[in-house]
Structure 1
Amino acid sequence: MIDGCDDHLMTDRAPLQMRQITRPQQIGDDLTREPIDCWVTAGNAGGAVGFPFPPVTAAEVAPVAEQLIAGLDDMRGRLVLAMADGVLAGRLNIRRDPHPLVAHWGTLHHVQSHPAYRGRGVGTALMRHARRVARDEMGLEQLHLAARSGMGLEEFYGRLGYKEIGRRQGAYRLGPGDDRDEVLMAPAPL
């Protein structure tokens, strides 16, 4: 399913459009390469994107991206892409756990904007769009995410209505003496 974005965010270069990928078959080579490139570029620019030790390469990211793509499904997993003039500006993944006890909750994974588009509202537009998709299309009642402390992410998500609901102290070890907390966050119910 591909759709437009209600936000119609304008970057310096072009209006931002949102696309959803809900099935692996919707991913062509271009849509496989661009998210991998974004992931590599964001990680190597110091982003908290799941690969904490730059430099990261496309060869390292590709198997993780392939696994993410393989899990796409209308109701269990969606890839949301923010496009600016046909170029990937950011992305995130919405996943639902199929277990009936928690199937009403969704998790946001791999929220990232391409470094070339940082500071232009791409992350905010992605998060707002994800909330609508989760509620209106996936029937989710709640979202949550985990963020790495020390990156300013708590403040970013806080501005979007997310509150800390838990913390695993020292969960991430980036180097000797550089342990970071995993901060669990959720907004008000959808």
Structure 2
Amino acid sequence: MTAAALAFQQFSSPGDIDSPLRRALVECWVEVTNAGGAAGFPFPPVDVSTVTPSLDRLVDLLSPDTSRLLTATVNGELAGWLNVRRDCFELIAHWGTVHHVQTRTAVRGRGVGRALMQEVRRVARDEMGLEQLRLAARGGVGLEGFYGRLGWKEVGRWPGALRLAAGDDRDEALMILAPL
């Protein structure tokens, strides 16, 4: 992927998200989930009516200080997105949590996810003033290796925390990126 083809944009206010972007985010979330992605909906298939209320809640919470949505586009089309949040409570306001990391299936393996994670690191450090990032990743699907190659460290696990189906319990891997 050429640097010219890949672009990032961040959104920090509900009013920043127009209808076409909202539709693209929902479509991406549906696609990623139905392809087996660990993006917040454990029981595919999902559809637009399932995903839209969750996106609406996420967008409603956008704020420059506490929650930002970061998108990656390729040639002007949404290729992936994520959400980074911080808690205002003084004891933990120095770290943030990354949620809903996802890339469109058509661009997988082309470096979009890696670039998106590098950009969220920069945004968190340089613009939000965070010192570390955390995330929880579904075990058993290779995410620990993906994040590990980007400098994230696994710091713990919740064994069997996620029940995807009867007899299909997965660990949740707790990961940290520090310092930023």
TM-score tier by shorter-chain length is: over 0.9
**What is the TM-score when the length of structure 2 is the normalising length?**
0.97
Q: Determine what percentage of the aligned residue pairs are the same residue.
A: 58
Taking the aligned partners of 1:51 and 1:142, their CA distance within structure 2 comes to 26
Q: 1:50 and 2:67 equivalent?
A: no
Aligned position for 1:59: 49
Q: 1:157 aligns with which of 134, 147, 156?
A: 147
Q: Does 1:120 align with 2:110?
A: yes
Q: 2:156 aligns with which of 151, 166, 174?
A: 166
Aligned-pair CA distance for 1:166? 1.1
Q: Deviations over 1:41-99 (max 9, x none)?
A: 00001101111111101101001000100111111000000011111000010100111
Distance 1:165 1:187 in 2: 10
Which residue matches 1:91?
Answer: 81
RMSD of aligned Cα (Å)? 1.1
Gaps of 5+ in 2: none
Aligned length: 180
Aligned to 2:177: 187
Are 2:95 and 1:105 aligned? yes
Distance 1:54 1:19 in 2: 28
Code of the aligned partner of 2:168: D
For structure 1, list consecutive stretches of 5 or more residues without a partner in the other structure: 1-8
Distance in 1 between the 2:23 and 2:106 partners? 17
8 Å contact 2:131–2:178 — kept in the other structure? no
The normalised TM-score by structure 1 is 0.92
2:64 to 58, 61, 74: 74
Q: Which runs of 4+ in 1 moved over 3 A?
A: none
